[in-house]
Structure 1
Amino acid sequence: MSDWKAARPAPRPIGAGGWLRLAVKGSAMALLVYGGLLLLLLLRQIERPFCGMARPVTPWITQGVCRGALAIMGLGIRVRGRPMTVPGAVVANHGSWLDIFVLNAVQRIYFVSKSEVAGWPGIGWLARATGTVFINRKGSEARAQQRLFEERLRFGHRLLFFPEGTSTDTLRILPFKSTLFAAFFTHGLEHALHIQPVTVHYIAPEGEDPRFYGWWGDMDFGSHLARLLAAPGHGRVEITFHEPVPADGFDGRKGLAARCEALVRQGFPAEGREVAPAEGWTLSPEG
């Protein structure tokens, strides 16, 4: 196990003010998230018979809930670039469970997640309701999963992959695994798809550990969420949408994965690029 995986931020004791913030923000967030989930499930009952796999209405609820949740947590968003409008998928670096809220808040997407998440209390319900695609790491499931990806992509769903395969402490980007990129090279699908790399960079509140928003290894979700809600300061997340990459511009998944990884690294602070350092990143004026 590498040092960064073994290390943990030293928890700051929650004082009286922190417990008050936790109670107020926690109640507001629970009401928003589960109230939104109930509304989504009710509307999906109307949406499904008429639209089938298409979801013309309910993703807007997901996006609104995620924006509201980030506001409650005091996490500001700064965006550079724009989500693509052409058919395809999205790949991003993965630093925290917060990525689900952050990336849903700025675009309409469907996440690809490991199958274990479906059984997590609270999060699993939300993931299933919002159309998450769950994958099994067993090699025997690879072909079936590829067919599922192809079906969703052909239906116009914009899937979001985390090619690192795990979350980090938000201070680094790990090498991209190319396995999931194979889904973009089936039955001529590569000629119709673009892949948009997205960089997610968290800045901790002043005075907090730089890894404040990171969630990795065996860290507990409940205590991590409580620490975020109790914090007096506000941090922010900076999102960079890079230019979409045409899948058919590469001979196969490895070349496409390497190009997407390089672009994601370009949008990250230089000290966090563990492979192939590139030029320094600056925030655009509009960000």
Structure 2
Amino acid sequence: MSDASWHSEDAPDPINLGVCGWLLVFFRGLPLAVFVFSGLIVLLILRMIERPLYGVHRPVTPFITQFVCRNAFRILGISYRTTGELMTQRGAVVANHSSWLDIFALNARKRIYFVSKAEVAKWPGIGWLARATGTVFIERDRKKAREQTLLFQERLTAGHKLLFFPEGTSTDGLRILPFKTTLFAAFFTEDLRDFMYVQPVSVVYHAPKGEPDRFYGWWGDMDFAPHLLKTLGARRQGGVELIYHSPAKVSDFENRKALAAYCEDTVRQAHSLARLEK
């Protein structure tokens, strides 16, 4: 995780919705809000039953999250496609990070649980969704490193697929930043190393025709609300593509740096090729 957000040398693109754009905001935004929060209510009700029966295990509610996230793209009109096989082994998933849309994109295909900085839990809207869907919140305090490693072990041993963004920040979607190695260290503990796998995923956004390539990127100090409005009000929508790579066995790597470098190279190469082939 990083204390600093990534900033582009160029200012964010201006947002000009116009009358048509505002109509699309209404006709997409209202159904999306009703759909997402209805799903959240159903999830919370079922979780009240699920939690006392299964504890940390969630045999039912992740399917609701998947259903909501997949259909959110249908409401938005954003095309969605994936390639590659889902990991069946126990372990974690790592992906590049470009936008708040990543949460929907990655949840739509695979039952995963995000690992996020603790501040996200306090964000209106996104924070509520994150808590409800089982996100693991971690703090930057070194004193809590051991406590957080034990939490990872509990969730991974229970069969949860934890998802990390090793870049530590979101970008404009046109690049892959160096993967930070800190969170990879938990995979090399004595209790996890022998059974852990890590699956790299490349997340690629294709901008609407006529819009800048970084249209869906959300970075730096950009506010959530204007970016949401821009996305809802796009006359033409683009698409998101997820490329699932072969899982890497943790015990095949000497240390966290070697594993992080492998995942970074894998994600970067596929991301570059997919952007060229759009």
TM range (shorter): over 0.9
Structure 2 distance, partners of 1:123, 1:13, is: 25
- 1:132 partner amino acid: T
User: What residue in structure 2 maps to residue 265 of structure 1?
Assistant: 268
TM-score (norm 1): 0.92
- 1:53 partner amino acid: V
Q: Does 1:107 align with 2:110?
A: yes
CA contact (8 A) 2:6 2:219 kept: no
Alignment length, in residue pairs? 275
Structure 2 distance, partners of 1:143, 1:171, is: 35
CA contact (8 A) 2:62 2:111 kept: yes
Per-residue displacement from partner, 1:130-180 (whole Å, max 9, x unpaired)? 000011112222121111111110111000000000000000000000000
Indicate the SS of the match to 1:238.
strand
Q: 2:121 aligns with which of 115, 118, 122?
A: 118
- 1:126 partner amino acid: L
CA contact (8 A) 1:9 1:209 kept: no
User: What residue in structure 2 maps to residue 278 of structure 1?
Assistant: none
Q: How large is the RMSD of aligned CA atoms in angstroms?
A: 1.8
Which stretches of structure 1, 4 residues or longer, exceed 4 Å deviation after superposition? 1-4
CA contact (8 A) 1:184 1:193 kept: yes
Shift of 1:270: 5.5
Are the structure 2 counterparts of residues 26 and 117 from structure 1 closer, same or farther at C-alpha, using a change threshold of 3 Å?
Answer: same
Structure 1 gaps of 5+ residues are: 273-280
Structure 2 gaps of 5+ residues are: none
TM-score (norm 2): 0.95
Per-residue displacement from partner, 1:1-35 (whole Å, max 9, x unpaired)? 99962423322311111111101111011101110
- 1:156 partner amino acid: G
Identity, % of aligned positions: 58
Per-residue displacement from partner, 1:200-233 (whole Å, max 9, x unpaired)? 0101000111111000001000110000000110
- Which gives a bigger RCO, structure 1 or 2 (Cα 8 Å, sep 6+)? 2
Q: Does 1:176 align with 2:179?
A: yes
Shift of 1:188: 3.4
Indicate the SS of the match to 2:271.
coil
Q: 2:144 aligns with which of 137, 141, 145?
A: 141
